[in-house]
């Protein structure tokens, strides 16, 4: 029973052997955990840009991946999703240096942070997990369009089931619970994906497919819970029932490369298959409102 239980925990695997010669992938937060394993897999297929806040950690991860895969095209760029200035600088540099972008994996995330705000005054979970990636996607969208077929992959979570978009208190100034703040931001990822897919559909089919999907990586043994002593402790005790980062990366890789997803968009996956989305995650009106509020907060026009 032991091995089969472990297999159940491990979940789905990406079986695609798709090569991505000449293709360019950006993965945010790829210096550790799921992101690093996603980068490791994709580095066996094509060019990978690791976009991270901590350059030293990212360089260590990149050189390990380069050594292991033999792919020298694993490049580190500085990106702090808690600062819109840094996001804009990253995008500007990227657009100046790279003529193509085929896959954007919005993977970075913070979880269970004590109450704090980003450089722009956004609550940290909503600011990094949703607004930072929203802005990054906006700034890179044209390049993705030009490179179609292209894919946007948003790493959300099962935690979206516990979230709600509290428009009256988006930045948790009236009331704050760090567990719920994480859930709210993961629901925002699902709603963003849904609305983005709706807006992209039918627009660029002439150049080939352009898709956006979200996913739940599974409960993964990673340092995402570092802000909570209790969670870190529970994670250690129950590590047998948690996915390894490699297992957790499988659905991200699947959404990025699987051939059968060429024209699948606006969906939510877990264990490399479609998964159930909470009713709040399917609310088109909330998705549209979140879109316009996000644009307002970021000072952008995205029609």
Judge whether 149 and 209 are in contact, CB under 8 Å: yes
Confidence of residue 225 (pLDDT cuts 50, 70, 90): low
H-type alpha helices, 70-208? 84-97, 124-125, 133-146, 178-200
Confidence of residue 36 (pLDDT cuts 50, 70, 90): very high
Is the pLDDT at 233 greater than 70? The verdict is: no
Minimum mean pLDDT range among 35-49, 105-119, 144-158, 231-245: 231-245
Confidence of residue 6 (pLDDT cuts 50, 70, 90): very low
Confidence of residue 219 (pLDDT cuts 50, 70, 90): confident
Fold for the domain defined by 20-297? Rossmann fold (3.40.50)
Strand order in the sheet with 150-155: 74-78, 47-52, 24-28, 103-106, 150-155, 210-216, 268-270, 273-274
Stretch 164-191: mean pLDDT: 96
Note the pLDDT of residue 288. Answer: 98
User: pLDDT > 90: what percent of the chain?
Assistant: 79
For the stretch 248-301, pLDDT in tens is 899 999 999 999 999 999 999 999 999 999 999 999 999 999 999 999 999 999
Q: Which of 93, 111, 97 lies closest to 29 in space, CA to CA?
A: 111
Tokens 């972008």 sit on residue: 101
Domain borders along the chain are 20-297
Tell me what percent of the chain is helix, strand and coil, each rounded to the nearest 5.
50, 15, 35
Catalytic hit among 115, 176, 182, 254: 182
CA distance 88 to 54: 17
Kindly report the average pLDDT of the chain as a whole number.
91
Note the pLDDT of residue 124. Answer: 97
- 232/43: higher pLDDT: 43
H-type alpha helices, 70-121? 84-97
Note the pLDDT of residue 204. Answer: 57
Note the pLDDT of residue 227. Answer: 59
Has 182 been annotated as catalytic? yes
pTM of the model as a whole:
0.93
- 66/233: higher pLDDT: 66
């Amino acid at each position: 029973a032991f091995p089969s239980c472990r297999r159940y925990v491990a979940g789905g695997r990406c079986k695609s052997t798709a090569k991505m010669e000449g293709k360019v992938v950006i993965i945010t937060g790829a210096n550790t955990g799921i992101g690093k394993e996603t980068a490791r897999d994709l580095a066996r297929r094509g060019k990978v840009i690791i976009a991270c806040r901590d350059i030293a950690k990212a360089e260590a991860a990149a050189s390990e991946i380069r050594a292991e895969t033999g792919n020298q095209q694993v490049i580190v760029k500085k990106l702090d999703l808690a600062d819109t200035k840094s996001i804009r600088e990253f995008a500007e540099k990227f657009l100046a240096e790279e003529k193509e972008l085929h896959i954007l994996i919005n993977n970075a995330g913070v979880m269970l942070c004590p109450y704090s705000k980003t450089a722009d005054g956004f609550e940290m979970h909503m600011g990094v997990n949703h607004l930072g990636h929203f802005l990054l996607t906006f700034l890179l969208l044209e390049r993705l369009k030009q490179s179609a077929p292209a894919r946007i992959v948003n790493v959300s979570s099962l935690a979206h089931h516990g979230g709600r978009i509290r428009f009256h208190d988006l930045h948790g100034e009236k009331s704050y619970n760090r567990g719920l703040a994480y859930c709210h931001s993961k629901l925002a990822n699902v709603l963003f994906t849904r609305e983005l897919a709706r807006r992209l559909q039918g627009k660029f089919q002439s150049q080939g497919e352009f898709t956006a999907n979200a996913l739940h990586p599974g409960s993964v043994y990673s340092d995402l819970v570092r802000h909570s002593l209790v969670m870190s402790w529970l994670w250690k005790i129950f590590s047998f029932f948690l996915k390894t980062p490699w297992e957790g990366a499988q659905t991200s890789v699947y959404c990025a490369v699987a051939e059968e997803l060429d024209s699948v968009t606006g969906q939510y996956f877990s264990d490399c298959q479609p998964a159930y989305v909470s009713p709040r995650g399917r609310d088109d009106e909330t998705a549209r409102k979140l879109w316009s509020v996000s644009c307002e907060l970021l000072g952008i026009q995205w029609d």
